[in-house]
Copies of this chain bind each other. A is one copy, B any other.
């Protein structure tokens, strides 16, 4: 097995696991935030504006951790410096 095959295999596995694992936490965290947001609106309808705004800021923060994982997965598939090195050197 030459180097590029190995780098390719490893990149595929890692990209998948990264986003597969990285999707669990944010999804659960956002589910909790959204669920509580609706309880809060039901309890204090007059503050629904403040609550919704807080929710969106929070969701953006939580989503950011999913984005980090997605970015790393995408880098590994489409802009992998190790792969580029071996393809360039014919390794």
Contact = CB atoms under 8 A, between A and B. Distances in A.
Interface residues of A, number: 80
Interface residue SS majority, chain A = helix
A70 B34 CA distance: 22
Contacts of A52: 50, 54
Interface string A1-41: 11111111111111111111111111111111111111111
A27 to B, nearest CB: 3
A76 B16 contact: yes
A82 B16 contact: no
A62 to B, nearest CB: 5
Contact of A7 (B5, B17, B26, B69): B5
